[in-house]
Amino acid sequence: MAILTDYAGVAGTGRASEPNPGYAHYRIVPARHPGRALGTLFAALVITGVLYSVLTNPRWGWPVFAEWFFAEPVLAGLGRTLLLTALATVSGSLLGTALALARVSKSPLLGGLSFGYIWLLRSIPLIVLLLVLNNLGYLYETISVGIPFTDTTLFNYPTTQLLTPFAAAFLGLTLNQSAFFAEIVRGGILSVDHGQHEAAAALGLPRHRQAFRIVLPQAMRSILPTGFNEIIGLAKSTSMVYVLALPELFYTVQVIYRRNLEVIPLLMVATVWYLVIMTGLSIAQHYIERHFSKGAVRNPVPLPFQAFFSRFRRPLAEVASSGAIARKTGFHDATAFRAGGAVRIHGISKSFGPLKVLDDVELSLPAGSVTAILGPSGSGKSTLLRAINHLERVDDGFISIDGDLVGYSQKGNTLYELKEKDILKRRADIGMVFQNFNLFPHLTVLENLIEAPLQVRGLKRDDAVRLAQELLARVGLSDKINAYPRQLSGGQQQRVAIARALALKPKVLLFDEPTSALDPELVGEVLDVIKELARTGTTLVIVTHEIGFAREVADTVVFIEAGRILEAGPPSRIFTTAEHPRTREFLAKVL
């Protein structure tokens, strides 16, 4: 009560910010946690009890432990354990990754083979596998490689000489490890958002680059914790190769204690060495996980020495030796862009099961035009857009850009679907900006922008960096060049996504509801960038619900419903005197 009176008194004088000498005598009593104190006491008792028992009971035999811990045969055994662990980790991880990629591939036979391998190897106990491999010489006396159906033999060797105990142990551990690791990698791949695969494909990145630069690094975040569990399990499983009489760590201590009968001290020697190995692996896991968490959090803690080494990195302005970087915003310099392409959509249809999503769509978009596609939800707008860059394969009809077919080659009256690598190359002419941006979160803004120019257009790194700097300046984000996407606002991310699509200098740029994932106050900044773009001569096709924007920027508005184009025309006509009653009804609701 006294405190309240004092406080009221101070506030009443209007001097609340001045220290009140009356508070000086107050004592602050921290909250008490009797449960926590009891728990701490209990933990201290347990630790003291264990240490006391372990250090004072002479039967643990610590002097014998000390005598053997660094003994030469033990170190030799430890070396074999480490070698087996390292080799089986590398080969098992590589084989496991290949198996996982095979399982998610579109080839049913390859997927089936991978599934069969994983099913079989996960079912066989490791010890049985090791013993079978050790007896392989009984099944096959020699191992030979030759050309089938001929007498030509390239390699022929007795199995027992080839499959030494070490080779059998290495092979057994690798086969076993790869089956488990394959499933871990597959889980990681499945955890990567589908939008990432689509964005990589839309940029035309080659398949191997999509897998190794975009998908797997992101999958690593979920692969690593379980993967390291497997590696730790593997390091311990090496003790199972004692069945092959291979003197690794555990087998070595067994041999020693059988001779000197000091069982417990020697088991402790092995245990402490395993503890050392596991500690090393856990530390490695910590740092590798942090490496692959790049871009995953908004405020990353720098790795040790990172701040030190970053001092020696060349600043970006130097990398692009052009000197002054364009500081202008907007796309006034139309020469930096390729002339737009004329898009012809020839009677395309597309069904998902019984649902016909596009029904004989016919459309012609002149080079450099801006087309807004409007229509109710589920009418097929996104499907039409995705068909233009062949992200969605149509059932009938075809699309051409400047006369070149998208996704097909023509011979006479027949259209042959192109191989994926050729489709990816052609896709570079058609940029796409997604509703959810689909920036690559593990790459910085600069890395997002230069990836496709380097890989698809074959630009030199310095040129790609210079182009990226210029584009970022134009979308007003020069200062964000080294930020990760998660460190940007939604509007900034979408502007980076537009710059990324422009970095390929496409003839046609597709926007799939580019502002619908944004807060209302961020919509304007993205629409402003698109408005600027509309003056550059690139052909733009925009699926949007922003009617005011469509009216201002589009040359043609296309209204689509249930997969059919109901009407198309200039915004001045469509928004005032639309012919079709459904168009009028739709516009009346949204205007």
Listed in sequence order, the residues at least 6 apart from 273 whose beta carbon sits closer than 8 Å to its beta carbon are 69, 74, 78, 81, 249
The C-alpha atoms of residue 370 and residue 381 are separated, in whole angstroms, by 16
Query: How many C-beta atoms surround the C-beta of residue 518 within 10 A?
Result: 21
| Smaller CB separation from ligand ATP, 384 or 468 | 384
The C-alpha atoms of residue 26 and residue 29 are separated, in whole angstroms, by: 10
Number of other residues whose CB lies within 10 A of the CB of residue 289? 14
Interface residues with ligand ATP (CB under 6 A)? 352, 357, 375, 377-383
- In angstroms, rounded to a whole number, what is the distance separating the alpha carbons of residues 197 and 201? 6
**Closest Cα to residue 374, out of 541, 573, 183, 203?**
541
CB 187 within 8 A of CB 223: yes
Q: Which helix (H) or strand (E) holds 13?
A: helix 2-13
Going by C-alpha positions, the residue among 231, 238, 230, 239 that lies closest to residue 173 is: 238
Among residues 63 and 378, whose Cβ is nearest to ligand ATP? 378
Strand pairing report for 430-433 and 508-512:
parallel
In the complex, least distance from residue 115 CB atom to ligand ATP, rounded to whole angstroms: 24
Nearest approach in angstroms of CB 512 to ligand ATP is 8
Q: How far, in Å, CA of 39 to CA of 203, rounded? A: 57
Nearest distance, CB of residue 427 and ligand ATP, angstroms: 19
CB of 377 to ligand ATP, least distance (A): 3
Structure tokens at 139: 């099944």
- The pairing of strands 564-569 and 556-561 is antiparallel
CB of 358: closest distance to ligand ATP in angstroms? Answer: 8
- The smaller minimum CB distance to ligand ATP, of residues 441 and 514, is found at 514
User: Which CB, 152 or 377, lies closer to ligand ATP?
Assistant: 377
| Shortest spacing between CB 379 and ligand ATP, in angstroms | 4
In whole angstroms, the minimum distance from the beta carbon of 381 to ligand ATP comes to 4
The span from the CA of 118 to the CA of 414, in Å, is 42
Residue 245, helix vs strand vs coil: coil
Is the Cβ of residue 264 or residue 517 nearer to ligand ATP in the bound state?
Answer: 517
How far, in Å, CA of 283 to CA of 288, rounded? Answer: 9
Taking the least distance from each CB to ligand ATP, the nearer of 305 and 352 is 352
Considering the complex, state which of residue 473 and residue 568 has its C-beta at the smaller distance from ligand ATP: 568
Residue with smaller CB distance to ligand ATP, 505 or 564: 564
Strand blocks (E) in 161-296: none
295 or 380: whose CB is closer to ligand ATP?
A: 380
Q: How far is the CB of 353 from ligand ATP (least distance, A)?
A: 7
Minimal distance in Å, beta carbon 434 to ligand ATP?
12
Q: How far is the CB of 356 from ligand ATP (least distance, A)?
A: 9
Q: Could you list the beta-strand ranges (E) of 133-222.
A: 142-146, 153-158
Strands 396-401 and 370-374: unpaired
The residue among 435 and 493 lying less far from ligand ATP, judged by its C-beta, is 435
- Residue 451: which residues within 8 A CB-CB, separation 6 or more? 203, 205, 209, 213, 440, 443
Return the bridge partners of 561, or none. Answer: 564
